[in-house]
A and B are shown apart, each in its own frame.
Chain A
């Protein structure tokens, strides 16, 4: 299988690797870089568990080949998290609102919420629901997730 050289910045680290052309970005992140916070829930671009930021935009890493990220900046859930034990405002809002149970879909929701709130700091409830409709959750009935994003937006406004 043909291997292709790739240079990509992942969570601030610039990396050069050689990967098979067919290797998905999700598998590259998970298996080659051990960034296992990016989850695979369907591998056909519907569930959103594998959502990462590509040059700031939320994308499905299961629908991209790693080589398509050549030259780009990729940010995963690990890159959106502090390493000092503190939760970010969005993560803290998810905990406060019980926005997760099993936690499998959660990194995808946090990444999606991050991208959404960057662009829509004052969202309506309707906009929050629409923005989150690309991520599937089976545990929470979305109640706590919607409340968490709302809370994070409100906290963002007050800070």
Chain B
């Protein structure tokens, strides 16, 4: 696909200079005069009844300005239901723990003080008595219906159950199959970990009954809408501003109970309150992710054609999940067949409460659809004695199959999984690696290769997420300002949208300013997440720019006494085609539109502004193939990734460096999740990995060089783009797991998911050894 003059170019990010020189302004850098700092008393037990709570000593501690508990703030909660899910049992109708605590980290009291040191000192003075109860930690114990309830008032630990449904002939397909392959794929609990923790500042104006909030959020309008319900005030009395945000990855899509408490406290306190979360809180009390498993079964006929798949999924959603990752089953079910032609599907799922930190979306929150089947493909390949690349070639959706309607009735019309499979296999020299692998095995070294395809349901556009709008405005001096509802947390939205405007208007990206992250300035938006920016924002900006260009040429046509059809726009000028000297600059046209409007022709409206709200289809499918090679040290259990290649198709690229940056970040989050990151609870519900000393993130020393190949097939929208924000994270876990499984297969080790830290690997090798010994003796 040919790149445009600005679209498709690896233009340097305009966000960078401020951020590189320490001039970024993140939530902890925002100065609001008179703000006090908040700190929370949180539960140190997973489940128990509060039998005593005395905050008097804290209230009279130095520098303390207020202390609030459930008794003070919970009665102020008006409404916490979410748009689209008004009857859901979550979120709860309270912000602070009232009579009992339900996970370690549950907020109990909020202290407001002159500074954070004094606020934390005062937290230590609160006297809390808790009658500790046995927590509900094990998912299977939680769901059997016989034990304790995490939320007694809800009456069940399984708030969202999708009973098995699917093709009526599913069981017959399994009965008739030449081979049936089964596995239980586990994704352990790991965490979003934005480098910046959460934070919020609330400033209540009691005279105007208006609220100003600065929030480290992925969606200012979502925060506004939620707070309007929480406080029971009109949304237009609330202004939410987003400062620079240090990553979100889904964790900052919604605000949590502690953040509600900050806002409610500010309304009672009557002066601004600021809360900056610390890392221990972020790791233990913000939100967690993954922690799910799926029993998968696949039926194949004799030549390796997959004819049916069944998935039964269990999710541990903790105590207080946020919408988006609660009951992901409905999002997993339609895509269970991933990139393959599988005619018969069955699916069931259950979301389960436990006394652990709640679940929030994390980059590809529904990713087990791909993580599951991609591991099962390798298990199947080993079971039937076929190479996993060949098994994929036999089943992958090909160009000639398009449009391809899935059993779920979702339709793939512009994807290229077969092309990316071949490109990735070629990039990594698949056959050559198999030769090296055999040679290494002769030397007692264990190398493996793992493939993972994904078709990413990008640009999620259902309900409130279905549209995005842009206002594109040229001022009297010919400079362009774009008002966009997005709330970028590092996705280069400013740079890419400047490119879209420049391409469609005929000016330089530097002539364009993009304003986002302010409810007072920007159109309603669902925020930045769900791989939506390129498709939703990109098309909104492009269409609004095209409309602005029409107004511009209409005014120029009057002034130049030329027909609109004969005009061209380039380099900040409108001119008559073929007569470049006969033209006007944007600055001259701006003057005419705003100042010299008496000179405009009859019927020509003054001003230069266009608004377009773009509605996208529910999903825009992108796709990718990841292949990695690795070596497992069977003495230490350490996995080293040798090479990592990605072939991806996100349609027309706005900025290839931005696309690759999204892929790199997603891949390393997946790789880190499988190999290093593990949020561990003990049997009493204590989080054991509450610092970066225990919760291990990948560093520059561990990550491989990631090689990226592009296949560009146009997306089904005017701009031809597809989303790419989550695919890196969706495809990578299975690629890494499959490489490890392939490396260890000669030892008789079977791998079913993650984590795959050194301990787990040594345990699996030991178990396989034992198995071999016991079966051979």
Interface size class of B (residues with CB under 8 A): 35 or more
A104–B195 touching, CB < 8 Å: yes
* A95-B12, A95-B17, A101-B492 given; A46·B693 CB < 8 A: yes
B767 → A minimal CB distance (Å): 32
Task: Give chain A interface residues in 92-142, CB to chain B under 8 Å.
Answer: 94-96, 98, 100-107, 110, 128-130, 132-142
* A77-B22, A95-B20, A103-B246 given; A47·B195 CB < 8 A: yes
Answer yes or no: B16 CB below 8 A from chain A CBs. yes
Q: Residue on A with the closest CB to B192?
A: A138
A140–B661 touching, CB < 8 Å: yes
A136–B17 touching, CB < 8 Å: no
A81–B12 touching, CB < 8 Å: no
Instruction: Tell me the bound Cα distance from A47 to B699 in angstroms.
Output: 10
Report B-chain residues with C-beta under 8 Å of the C-beta of A1.
117
Task: Give chain B interface residues in 174-196, CB to chain A under 8 Å.
Answer: 193-196
A102–B692 touching, CB < 8 Å: no
Report B-chain residues with C-beta under 8 Å of the C-beta of A40.
28
List the one stretch of B125-133, B392-400, B437-445, B664-672 in contact with chain A. Answer: B664-672
When each residue 697-710 of chain B gets 1 if its CB lies under 8 Å from chain A and 0 otherwise, what string results? Answer: 11111110110000
Interface size class of A (residues with CB under 8 A): 35 or more
A41–B195 touching, CB < 8 Å: yes
B16–A136 touching, CB < 8 Å: no
B700–A103 touching, CB < 8 Å: no
Report B-chain residues with C-beta under 8 Å of the C-beta of A95.
12-13, 16-17, 20
B659 → A minimal CB distance (Å): 10
* A143-B706, A146-B700 given; A104·B117 CB < 8 A: no
B193–A138 touching, CB < 8 Å: yes
Instruction: Tell me the bound Cα distance from A47 to B695 in angstroms.
Output: 12
Answer yes or no: B464 CB below 8 A from chain A CBs. no
Instruction: Tell me the bound Cα distance from A106 to B23 in angstroms.
Output: 11
Instruction: Tell me the bound Cα distance from A93 to B691 in angstroms.
Output: 32
Answer yes or no: A36 CB below 8 A from chain B CBs. yes
Answer yes or no: B657 CB below 8 A from chain A CBs. yes
Answer yes or no: A87 CB below 8 A from chain B CBs. yes
Answer yes or no: B26 CB below 8 A from chain A CBs. yes
Instruction: Tell me the bound Cα distance from A76 to B489 in angstroms.
Output: 24
Instruction: Tell me the bound Cα distance from A77 to B196 in angstroms.
Output: 17
B490–A139 touching, CB < 8 Å: yes
B16–A100 touching, CB < 8 Å: yes
Instruction: Tell me the bound Cα distance from A138 to B490 in angstroms.
Output: 10
Max chain B C-beta neighbours (<10 A), residue from A38, A96, A100 = A100
B20–A110 touching, CB < 8 Å: yes
When each residue 227-267 of chain B gets 1 if its CB lies under 8 Å from chain A and 0 otherwise, what string results? Answer: 00000000000000000111101000000000000000000
A107–B278 touching, CB < 8 Å: no
Answer yes or no: A69 CB below 8 A from chain B CBs. no
Q: Could you jot down 19 A-B contacts, CB within 8 Å? A: A30-B28, A30-B29, A35-B22, A46-B691, A46-B693, A78-B22, A87-B21, A101-B490, A101-B665, A103-B16, A103-B24, A104-B26, A106-B19, A128-B700, A133-B701, A136-B697, A138-B195, A139-B490, A143-B706
Q: With contacts A44-B691, A76-B22, A102-B194 known, what are 8 further pairs, Cβ within 8 A?
A: A20-B117, A39-B28, A42-B692, A78-B21, A87-B17, A136-B699, A141-B703, A143-B661
